[in-house]
Structure 1
Amino acid sequence: MGLEVEESQMQRRKASSWLDGLASPRRNPAVLLTMYGPVFKTSLVGRQVVVSTDPEVNHFVLQHEGRLFRSCYPNTFTEIFGRDNVGELQGFVYKYLKGLVLRLFGLENLREVMLQDMEKMARERLSLWSLQATIEIKDAISAGRKKAMAMLKKILAERMESTSKECDDFFDCVVKELKKDRPILTQGIALDLMFVLLFASFETTSLVLTLAVKLLSDHPQVLAKLTEEHGLILMNRRQQNSGITWKEYKSMKFTLQVINETIRLANIVPGIFRKALKDIHINGYTIPAGWGIMVCPPAVHLNPEIYEDPMNFNPWRWKDKPELSKHFMAFGGGMRFCVGTDFSKLQMAVFIHCLVTKYRWTHIRGGHIIRTPGLGFPDGYHLRLLPKE
């Protein structure tokens, strides 16, 4: 199965710059493909793991969860997200929880409720930032996350004591389930779910949006095209100050291309972990029962045989190209395809609309990008936000 790679965890976590992977093969999962083959075995955090950079193998693994594979993440992940996190739940409990989350992130709720709320929050935040001499955009976007868990525990306790039976929001639906005589969820699962949802809402989206602003700053032709698209939306409105409609959101074709390209380069999720339930034979490889397998999205997203000039920011590559494919795995796949996909894209599109139609910005300092292996801005990314005249 390719070559066996034995690297220390410290070396794997060593920081690399945005383009270091082109010169340093060990830091770029795409280059591992040419060094060790599309599927190889290694030792990762003390576990025997098969790493797959092969789109066909990746698709097979994700599509056969529950039958041939199960979700199984390293202990460090469990310690961060909780013992009852969504990634560790299996079978009926996971499917039930997924259905519960879809009540919050489903298209109807996004269209009827969240679109207006997102725009209101984006406008308020941007207006506040424009009054400051400088902002660190990553921290500004994700502000409030640190206090969120304590707030959630307090709200959960208050709702549990309430006698109301109405489900006014997602939290009420969770509490209603917890109050059943034989609930499927526990308070631990509920709180871990809330934490994961907050992490997805704040941390991942803020990183992608920060990278988007950085890439737009570095590629003025993309910013010009994006501004043109949103300018036409305003021009076609009967009332300039009316909110974004669902029809307008669905018309943001180039915006979606920018979002997809930013997500492809961001590679927020360096690996998706599964465990083989039996010996698996696929494409000439054997994955032993009990072994972990790490599906590696960055190796696919940065593969020059799949994406021409993969390190180049080129939103036009997404024109007339299907999002749902074996070659775009930013939101996972199979039964665990991210239920917050539409929420994340809507949130980013709304933020971009409010930003490019009302504001311009200048770079103050920072903006250097590293991977450890996740995306990071060690010096921050400080901007001056100014209203357009």
Structure 2
Amino acid sequence: MQRMWSVWLSVISLFLVAATHWLYRWRNPKCKGTLPPGSMGFPLIGETLDFLVPNKSLDMLPFIKKRMKKYGPIFRTSLAGRPVVVSSDPEFNYYVFQQEGKLVERWYMDSFSKLLNQDATKIHAHKNIHKYVRKLVLGHFGPEALKDNMLPKLEDVINQRLQNWAKLPIKFGSAEKCCSCKQIFDFTAAQMFSYDAEKSGENIGEFFTDYHQGLVSFPINIPGTSYHACLQNKKKAMNLITKMLKERRRNPDIRKGDLLDQMLADMKTETFLTEKFIIHMMFGLLLAGFESLTSTLTLAIKLITDHPEVVQELTEEHEAILNSREYTSSGLTWKEYKSMTFTHHVVNESLRLASVAPGILRRTIHDIQVNGYTIPKGWVLMVVLAAIQLNPNTYKDPLAFNPWRWQNVSANVTVKNFIAFGAGMKSCAGADFSKVLMAVFLHVFVTKYRWTATKGGEVIRSPSLKFGDGYFSSAFGAIKT
């Protein structure tokens, strides 16, 4: 009996020693230098739960703000089981974005990588593949495509959608976002693979609603979790995209002139273009633009509604465009779009305040030295957009919606302090499309409609931008004559 107790005592002692050592290593990760200040939180969980605490404000997450005040603009933490260095330092962030492929590489949270599949995430790991994808997107959604043929299509789609919605009082909430949400997705999907919402038996846009909620979660596939819901929606969306690709390949003579046509043609020369790769990339591109753009546009509508003086100046600018035409009913031209000075200010200010994603993620390829600290190889870097774009040292009264501030903001300031579409070589190829879509929507909105906010609500960062249920109810007036 005494011998058995000795054995159990030895086992328990070894376990305690091992657990203590493991806990010490968790709290004090290996580093060839001095780690940035911060805390790794609880084992495995890290500080994820604190990170996910919602904030009913446009201000940055309390998690970030509290630690910036305690540790400074660069600190360490652990999120979803990964060691992370969070940075709100404009100079360092600018440097990081210039070191794409040298010191850092694009990276997704484990949940996002599994949701997108390695075939989709690896497009950023290979220079030639990324170059191909960027060229492809710019060819179909870049300035030339917008200027030559997409601008009138956008205006027609927005006109049609708003006419339908003007007949009813509209509820804006976390699921609906805004009346333009479905319209944006349908239009984007149509340009990518000729998706027809009316002919399709499924609404693919619903599969992407609130997708960001699962991207920073633990990748645990259990019913009831955000991650499980993301997987189920992904499966439905992927099945629909696969069905359309198979149909296109069975009928090679049918040419739609869309992005899918281009990729199918390029399969003859680009070895990495497999069916699996194309399907996952289509899914990834839709996901990348859908949530952020619809959230930003919803926020823009809320902000201008709260500021009648902004609506007034927008209306004057766009009615001046109509009055300068020979025929009022003529469609928007590229020249008219470029002339929308105040509208561009409104778009920039909405993008600055939105900061839809909690941060832009990169992973270190080598150890990085910054301010006397070392960020170890293999760690995740999170560039916090809100911390940069809401910096009071750069933007006076940063939480105020003030489009006029952009009259005096120079390019030297924005290059490091306005990164709504990322920065460096891998900035978002869809930036121009997003800006044009928002501007065209505002043009139609203020020249043809009058609306009234009928119900209050709140903006929520949790950690991505969301809108509380019943947040924005608005009744559209009749079309102006």
Shorter-chain TM-score above 0.5: yes
Change (3 A) 1:162 1:5: same
1:41/1:110 CA distance change after superposition, 3 Å: same
Q: What residue is the counterpart of 1:387 in the other structure?
A: 478
Q: Which residue of 2 aligns with 1:95?
A: 131
Bigger CA drift: 325-334 or 181-190?
A: 181-190
Counterpart residue number, 1:300: 388
Higher Rg of the two aligned structures:
2
- Match 1:108 to one of 144, 159, 163: 144
For residues 190-269 of structure 1, what are the structure 2 equivalents within 5 Å?
190-269=278-357
Q: How does 1:1-389 map to 2 (within 5 A)?
A: 1-7=35-41, 8-18=47-57, 27=62, 29-30=64-65, 32-86=67-121, 89-90=124-125, 91-136=127-172, 138-143=177-182, 144=203, 145-146=205-206, 149-164=238-253, 168-178=257-267, 180=268, 183-322=271-410, 324-380=414-470, 381-389=472-480
1:199 Cα deviation after fit: 2.7
Q: In structure 2, what is the Cα distance between the partners aligned to 1:115 and 1:171?
A: 20
CA distance in 2, matches of 1:366, 1:379: 10
Q: Is the 8 A contact 1:177 1:184 kept in 2?
A: no
Q: Alpha-carbon deviation of 1:161?
A: 1.8
Match of 2:169, SS?
coil
SS at match of 1:48: strand
Aligned counterparts of 1:149 and 1:235: Cα–Cα separation in 2: 46
Deviation at 1:36, TM superposition (A): 1.3
CA distance in structure 2 between the partners assigned to 1:182 and 1:242 by the alignment: 42
Q: 1:322 to 1:12 in 2, by over 3 A?
A: same
1:174–1:190 CA contact under 8 A, matched in 2? yes
Q: Distance in 2 between matches of 1:94 and 1:19?
A: 33
* 1:159 Cα deviation from its structure 2 partner: 1.4
Q: Is the 8 A contact 1:30 1:303 kept in 2?
A: no
Instruction: Measure, in 2, the Cα distance between the counterparts of 1:223 and 1:200.
Output: 29
CA distance in 1, matches of 2:287, 2:310: 29
Per-residue CA shift, 1:323-351, capped at 9, x if unaligned? Answer: 65110111001121000000000000000
Q: Which moved more, 1:189-198 or 1:94-103?
A: 189-198
Q: Once the two structures are superposed, what CA deviation does each residue of 1:140-168 show, in whole Å capped at 9, x if it has no partner?
A: 32224136655432221111222339672
Q: Are the counterparts in 2 of residues 217 and 223 from structure 1 also a CA contact under 8 Å?
A: yes
Deviation at residue 192 of structure 1 after TM alignment: 2.3
What CA deviation, in whole Å up to 9, does each residue of 1:76-122 have, x standing for no partner? 12233333335763122112111111111221111111101100000
Contact 1:130 1:385 in 2 (8 A): yes
Q: Per the alignment, in what secondary structure is the counterpart of residue 475 of structure 2?
A: strand
Partners of 1:355 and 1:296 lie apart in 2 by 32
1:61, 1:366 → 2: CA distance?
Answer: 41
Q: Which amino acid aligns with 1:343?
A: F
CA contact (8 A) 1:72 1:87 kept: no
The unaligned stretches of length 5 or more in structure 2 are: 1-34, 42-46, 183-202, 208-236
| Aligned partners of 1:141 and 1:202 also within 8 Å | no
More displaced 10-residue stretch of structure 1: 360-369 or 215-224: 360-369
SS of the aligned residue for 2:450 comes to strand
CA contact (8 A) 1:167 1:173 kept: no
Say which is worse superposed, 12-21 or 304-313, in terms of deviation.
Answer: 12-21
Q: Structure 2 CA distance, aligned partners of 1:201 and 1:337?
A: 13
Give the aligned partner of residue 188 of structure 2.
Answer: none
**Unaligned stretches of 5+ in structure 1?**
none
Structure 2 counterpart of 1:340, one-letter code: G
Partner SS, residue 476 of structure 2: strand
| Distance in 1, Cα, partners of 2:49 & 2:440 | 39
Moved more, 373-382 or 233-242: 373-382
Distance 1:40 1:108 in 2: 42
Q: TM-score, normalised by structure 1?
A: 0.92
Q: Which amino acid aligns with 2:243?
A: K
Query: Distance between the aligned counterparts of 2:170 and 2:107, measured in 1?
Result: 42
Task: State the identity as a percent.
Answer: 42
When the two chains are superposed, the root-mean-square deviation of aligned CA atoms in Å is 2.2
Following superposition, the deviation at residue 6 of structure 1 comes to 3.7
CA contact (8 A) 1:361 1:384 kept: yes
Matches of 2:316 and 2:122, distance apart in 1: 41
- Give the partner amino acid of 1:292: V
Q: Secondary structure at the match of 1:387?
A: coil
Q: Which amino acid aligns with 1:278?
A: H
d(CA) in 1 for partners of 2:166, 2:356 = 28
Q: Which amino acid is the alignment partner of residue 387 of structure 1?
A: A
SS in 2 for 1:228: helix
Q: Which moved more, 1:365-374 or 1:261-270?
A: 365-374
The letter of the residue matching 1:214 is K
TM-score, structure 2 as length reference: 0.75
Deviation at 1:201, TM superposition (A): 4.2
Residue 331 of structure 1 aligns with an amino acid whose one-letter code is F
Asked whether the 8 Å contact 2:238–2:283 carries over to 1, the reply is yes
> The residue matched to 2:435 in structure 1 has which SS?
helix
